[in-house]
Structure 1
Amino acid sequence: MTLSCKIFSTTLQGEAQDWFHTLPLHSIQNFSKLSLVFTKEYLSYRSIKKKSDHLFNMKKDPKESLPIYVKRFKAEKAKIVKCDDSIACSAFQKGLPANHPLFGKLIMGQNLTLADSYALAEKHSLWDEAKYS
Structure 2
Amino acid sequence: MTNISISPFMDEIKQAEPSRKFSMPHFTSFKGYEDPNRHLKHCRSAMVLYRNNDALMCKIFATTLQGEAQDWFHTLPPRSIWNFDDLSLVFIKEYSSYSSIKKKSDHLFNVKKNVKESLRDYVKRFKAEKAKIVGCDDSIAKAAFQKGLLADHSLFGEMIMKEDLTLVNSFALADKHAIWDEAR
TM class by smaller structure: 0.7 to 0.9
Unmatched segments (≥5 aa) in structure 2: 1-8, 14-53
Structure 1 contact 9–20 (Cα < 8 Å) conserved: no
| Paired position in structure 2 for 1:9 | 58
Match in the other structure for 1:89: 142
Which segment is superposed worse, 53-62 or 1-10? 1-10
Q: Which residue of structure 1 aligns with residue 151 of structure 2?
A: 98
Q: Normalising by the residue count of structure 2, what TM-score does the alignment of the two structures yield?
A: 0.60
Paired residues of 1:56 and 1:92 also in contact (CA < 8 A): yes
Alignment length, in residue pairs?
A: 131
Tell me what 2:181 maps to. 128
SS of 1:56's equivalent in the other structure is helix
The structural deviation recorded for 1:94 is 0.5
Instruction: Report which stretch shifted further, 94-103 or 5-14.
Output: 5-14
Percent identical: 55
Match of 2:116 among 60, 63, 71: 63
8 A contact 1:9–1:17 mirrored in 2: no
The aligned runs of 1:15-94 (5 Å cut-off) are: 15=66, 18-19=70-71, 21-26=73-78, 28=80, 37-94=90-147
Asked if structure 1 preserves the Cα contact closer than 8 Å seen for 2:58 and 2:87, the reply is no
Following TM superposition, the consecutive aligned residue runs of length 4 or more in structure 1 with deviations greater than 4 angstroms are 3-8, 29-36
Q: Normalized against structure 1, the TM-score is what?
A: 0.80
Distance in 2 of aligned mates of 1:10 and 1:27: 13
Deviation string, structure 1 residues 29-87 (Cα, Å, up to 9, x no partner)? 75687565433311112112211111111000111000000001111111111211111
Q: Matched residues in 2 for 1:9 and 1:118: separation?
A: 46
Return the offset for 1:26.
2.6
Q: 1:30 to 1:73 in 2, by over 3 A?
A: same
Root mean square deviation, CA, Å:
2.7
1:2-35: per-residue Cα shift (whole Å, max 9, x none)?
A: 3478555324213386145422553737568756
Distance 1:59 1:43, change over 3 A: same
